[in-house]
Structure 1
Amino acid sequence: MITLAISKRRRRGQARSQTVLRGLPFAVLAAVAACDLIAGPSLGFLPLLTLGPTFACVTGTVRRTAAFGALALAACIPLAAYNGTLLKWQNNLTIATIVSATGASMLASHLRLRRERELANLKLVAEAAQRVLLRPVPRRAGDLQLALSYTSAAAEARIGGDLYEVVTTPAGVRLIVGDVQGKGLQAVETAAWVLGAFREAAYDQPDLIGVAQRLETTLTRHLGAESFVTAILAEVSDGEITLLNCGHPAPLMLRRDGTVAGIVPPEESLPLGLGSLAPATPKPHICGFGEQDQILFYTDGVIETRNATGEFYPLAERLSPLRGADPQHALDALREDLLEHAGGPLADDAAMLLLRRQGY
């Protein structure tokens, strides 16, 4: 798997960097001592011994930094005796410099470690928020098999502006796939509002129009006049699926006979949050969804991914991996193909949700 290989290479690179940084203070002290012995009393290299504790504070603990400061002092005394400067003001100044640099490095190490602990705690909070905001979709819902792929554009992030949810209601399986305008924490906050409103409305409203109106009301209350969310709502019933598209890329239908077609709405609708600009409520449309058929929902981060030559990812032409027996493995293979096309990190969040009628 390409992602796994990239992750392993990144971890190996980080491990090598840590090893180099941890060994750097030793190397610096040894190099300074060697240069001083070779040059003799004519050149004063001893003040450079302060580099030992200075480099140690980058990755080491406070005690490790202090140990390198002590090691620098231990090297300074015999070298000063060799140079004939022991107990002279030049060497006393060097010792004071080493002590001062060691103290400052110990303080820097303490502040770094405290910051790392704070970041670790924030990461735990972010992971908890992820579990609440973007919950794992069920592998099965009614007679459906489901698979999900979510790739954040931020290297260390797990959540972003794309959103999804699947719930089983008395009216059937209902879902939403959307993309929030903008990026960062504001986009995550907007996604939280949309998902919270959808999870409530999906059970309360008799149809998708009611669900969309509830989402529109929520966004109007909490968002600015120019903020919006593209989204597609769906309700699966026997032999068909009802879709309500609010300015979102049309999903792709993969029929059991191998044909692929985009499920384009008969009328264009504005994204959620811009309902006041539309003369009428978005209209749902119904599409046949039989045994062994598949529907792929996705966000624009997928189809707008470019390769090195600037070509967009041709999603409709690259769906052969979805013929695999296991939906999740099949969607993972499609994601790997997307990452291979990009040749590196994605420029935008990319979410894909695959629905498959049982019978495969």
Structure 2
Amino acid sequence: MLSDVRTRPFQPGHGPLSPGSRAGLGAALALLAIVSAVEAGDGRPAHYLALMAAAPVLAAALASWRVVLAVGALATAAGITFAVCERGASLVTAVNVAAIALVTAIAAATAAVRQRQAERIAELSRLASVAQQAVLRPLGPQVGTLAVAARYISSTATAEIGGDLYEVMDTPYGVRMIIGDVRGKGLDAVRLASIVLGSYRHVAYERADLRAVVTDLDRAVARNVGDEDFVTAALVEERGGTLTIVNCGHPSPLLLRRGQVIPLEPPAPAPPLGFMPVVRPRVERLEPGDRLLLFTDGLGEARRDGEFFPTADRAWRLLGHGTVGDGLASLETALVEWVHGRLDDDIALVLMEYTGPRSSAAAPVPSWEVGTADG
């Protein structure tokens, strides 16, 4: 996939000016016009030529180096014009004109450095977008008997992905999904999230029992983290209308059914991945139209003025209408409005709807019934 994502090399001077260059050019020309008008009205000798050096400096804050050079050339030409019109130009006037040219060169060099940095940041943003697609693949709109939608809400405007993770796959053992949250932030969290997802995408097809999947993921996490690092996770399997959930220290999914919101708490608490969790499955029988919300703790911790976002109270009104994608869009809008646009943590959301059994489905056998009673 990475080989298909190519970025075009930057070609300065081609195409229309960027909004920043237009703004810098306009501000610089306005300043030149004002200084020129004041100088012309003041008569001889020239007193304000030095102020023209501010024009290329102003342009350098926003515009490209080519625009800065053009502004500087115009300012230098204006300075020379006033100097020529001044009979017997003084040394001060000549020095002011030379200063305009010198400041133009410095401003152009500064703009070139700023432009290269902006290009590097843009390139990193594009690479981050590619990484996001590689780690968190697009879901849905239909996986097996489930309509599925997912959203990742970043708490940082400059970051598109963090330590929250999710995946949904149609396996020989039913539709399986995971949602998790890596302790910590930054590149280490992204690295661990990618390890967990990579392991899950393999073992979800290999292990008949969700508890065996948890064991494999726990080993993968333990091999790659420190003593205080961990990953909370909830694993869900839908097979023939039977829902099986195992929870490793993660917020409980919410089942939306006929206007009710039911937290699917585990039968017994279990620690996160990395701490050798021993999980007990929770099993529910689904009805057509049931919706299930999986989320990370950023949703439960979102608050304003010390008051937490009332997820359970508002879940049905926000998530029970339209498509699952419509529901998540409504939830995100309500959440952002609640916190006034300021989130303290990333949030991963997965919403799915059970559309009914497959016509050729065999008798449902949830994964917790496969194998030994203790396995």
TM-score (structure 1 length as normaliser): 0.88
Q: What RMSD in Å do the two structures reach over aligned CA positions?
A: 2.1
Matches within 5 A, 1:197-346: 197-255=199-257, 257-275=258-276, 281-307=278-304, 309-319=305-315, 320-346=317-343
Partner of 2:79: 76
Point out the structure with the larger helix share.
1
Measured after TM superposition, the shift of residue 42 of structure 1 is 7.5
Report the CA distance between 1:95 and its aligned residue: 2.2
3-state secondary structure, aligned to 1:193: helix
Aligned partners of 2:101, 2:19: CA distance in 1, in Å? 30
Which residue type is aligned with residue 21 of structure 1? G
Could you tell me which amino acid in structure 2 is paired with residue 123 of structure 1?
S
Which deviates more from structure 2 when the two are superposed, residues 186-195 or residues 31-40? 31-40
Contact 1:293 1:357 in 2 (8 A): yes
Equivalent in the alignment of 2:7: none
Shift in Å, 1:214: 1.2
Counterpart contact for 2:46–2:93, Cα < 8 Å: no
Number of residues of Structure 1 aligned to a counterpart in Structure 2: 339
Q: Distance in 1 between matches of 2:241 and 2:67?
A: 68
1:44 maps to which of 32, 44, 47: 47
**Cα drift, residue 43 of structure 1:** 7.8
Which of 20, 31, 40 is the aligned partner of 2:34? 31
Q: How does 1:340-355 map to 2 (within 5 A)?
A: 340-355=337-352
Once the 2 structures are TM-superposed, how far is the Cα of residue 84 of structure 1 from its aligned partner?
Answer: 4.9
CA displacement 1:90-112 (0-9 Å, x = unmatched): 12221221121111112112222
Deviation at 1:296? 0.7
Give how far 1:77 is off: 2.0
Q: Deviations over 1:46-90 (max 9, x none)?
A: 11211111122223232221111111111112323455562x321
1:123/1:57 Cα in 2 relative to 1: closer, same or farther (>3 Å)? Answer: same
Contact 1:155 1:345 in 2 (8 A): no
SS at match of 2:308: coil
After superposition, give the CA deviation of every residue in 1:271-301 in whole Å (9 maximum; x if it has no partner). Answer: 11222xx6xx222221222222111111111
1:258 alignment partner AA: G
Cα distance between partner residues in 2 of 1:183 and 1:233 = 22
Structure 2 counterpart of 1:5:
none
2:293 match: secondary structure = strand
Letter matched to residue 315 of structure 1 = T
Q: Are the equivalent residues in 1 in contact too, given 2:20–2:63 (CA < 8 A)?
A: no
From the superposition, tell whether residues 17 and 120 of structure 1 become closer, same or farther in structure 2 (CA, over 3 Å). closer
Unaligned residue ranges in structure 2 (runs of 5+): 1-17, 357-375
Contact 1:85 1:91 in 2 (8 A): no
Residue of structure 1 in register with 2:368 after alignment: none
SS across alignment from 1:318: helix
Partner of 1:6: none
SS of 1:106 mapped into structure 2:
helix
Do the aligned partners of 2:155 and 2:345 also contact (CA within 8 Å) in 1? Answer: yes
Per-residue CA shift, 1:85-141, capped at 9, x if unaligned?
62x321222122112111111211222222222222222211111111000112112
Change (3 A) 1:201 1:85: farther
AA of the residue aligned to 2:271: L
Would the aligned equivalents of 2:137 and 2:167 in 1 still touch at CA under 8 Å? Answer: yes
Kept after mapping to 1: 8 A contact 2:24/2:60? no
Match of 1:118 in 2: 120
Structure 2 Cα separation of the partners of residues 141 and 274 of structure 1: 31
Are positions 1:21 and 2:24 aligned together? yes
Contact 1:130 1:158 survives alignment (8 Å): yes
Matched to 2:268, the amino acid is E
Q: Conserved in 2, the CA contact under 8 Å of 1:331 and 1:354?
A: yes
- For 1:213, the aligned partner's letter is T
Flag structure 1 segments of 5+ consecutive residues without an equivalent: 1-14
On the 8 A contact 1:229/1:271 being kept in 2, the answer is: yes
Answer whether contact 1:215 1:272 (CA < 8 A) is retained: yes
1:119-198 equivalences under 5 Å are 119-198=121-200
